[in-house]
Chain A
């Protein structure tokens, strides 16, 4: 992939993190202004609208978590790639790093998706 496309995805995933990270933070922390009871329910495992498991059961919130996972994985690993390019200005290290990070990204996505799907399906 051309570097400009990688960087475009980097910027877009940064914006994505702001949006989906915002939704995530809202469901976890920012329910406090809605009242103490709502806030308390976010700490429960299940049984209330914002309880941990309910967030995963809700299709929209679970998808937003998956997108957050996708964007943070891509943005974080690409950021790491850029840092490593500058730390080790060596072509061999650079191409090895690319494959290691691709594998790492893939593994993170598989494990994270599995977690979200399992949590979504728990009844």
Chain B
């Protein structure tokens, strides 16, 4: 039977002094994902392995990890796609918790800072709308691709600016800011434009483009950042 070799990053700050890579041989099954392999390890080979996952179908965004050097969703990545020998590590740019688990507090703080919700000037209308807010296809087209973001943090992990400048909002927050700015139902344009117009804000993006390359949902945060910059220049 064909087996897949998993070399998995192990480190528990409460007990270990040093990080290490544990190697496991996992029998291959057609359609096996990286998460399937890790769950096999956890169930049959080593119960102490810490991983985070939930939906197992690329929707919740909780199983992000670095597989063979690239940030990927473990449940969305076919073993066959990446090879028979896998090196699995935690996501970069997110503080480490244990084994493959990382902390998303800072990531979600930045996510929240861009006000990822629709803002109406009439708060009473916002709380209890009296009618529907219809949009044309063209209006929807402006932001639809950015609304596919599942906040998995892969783009944030791939961003070279976040790693050198931890205060940088990151591609996810910036793309989400553009998503609401471009929505015809939103009425807080000027406030939104000010949020990331800081010394360590949107202008520090270098357009490495790695965020767009690793997004499992096909969102293009680098494009959103370009469009957001254009909107900022327009004022």
Contact = CB atoms under 8 A, between A and B. Distances in A.
B165 A89 contact: yes
Contacts of B200: 85, 89
27 contacts: A2-B197, A3-B197, A3-B198, A3-B199, A3-B201, A3-B203, A4-B197, A4-B203, A4-B232, A4-B233, A7-B203, A8-B233, A82-B204, A85-B165, A85-B199, A85-B200, A85-B204, A86-B161, A86-B164, A86-B165, A86-B204, A89-B164, A89-B165, A89-B166, A89-B167, A89-B200, A94-B199
Contacts of B232: 4
Contacts of B167: 89
Interface string B214-235: 0000000000000000001100
Interface string A66-97: 00000000000000001001100100001000
Contacts, number: 27
Contacts of B164: 86, 89
Interface string A20-58: 000000000000000000000000000000000000000
Size category of the binding interface on chain A: 10 to 19
A56 B232 CA distance: 40
Interface of B: 161, 164-167, 197-201, 203-204, 232-233
A2 B161 CA distance: 21
Contacts of A4: 197, 203, 232-233
A85 B198 CA distance: 12
Interface string A88-118: 0100001000000000000000000000000
Contacts of B199: 3, 85, 94
Contacts of A7: 203
Which of B165, B167, B199, B233 has the most CB atoms of chain A within a 10 A radius of its CB? B199
Contacts of B197: 2-4
Contacts of A85: 165, 199-200, 204
Contacts of A3: 197-199, 201, 203
Given A3-B199, A82-B204, 15 more contacts: A2-B197, A3-B198, A3-B201, A3-B203, A4-B197, A4-B233, A7-B203, A85-B165, A85-B200, A86-B164, A86-B165, A89-B164, A89-B166, A89-B167, A94-B199
A4 B202 CA distance: 9
B177 to A, nearest CB: 14
A83 B125 CA distance: 46
Nearest to B200: A85
A95 B96 CA distance: 30
A75 to B, nearest CB: 15
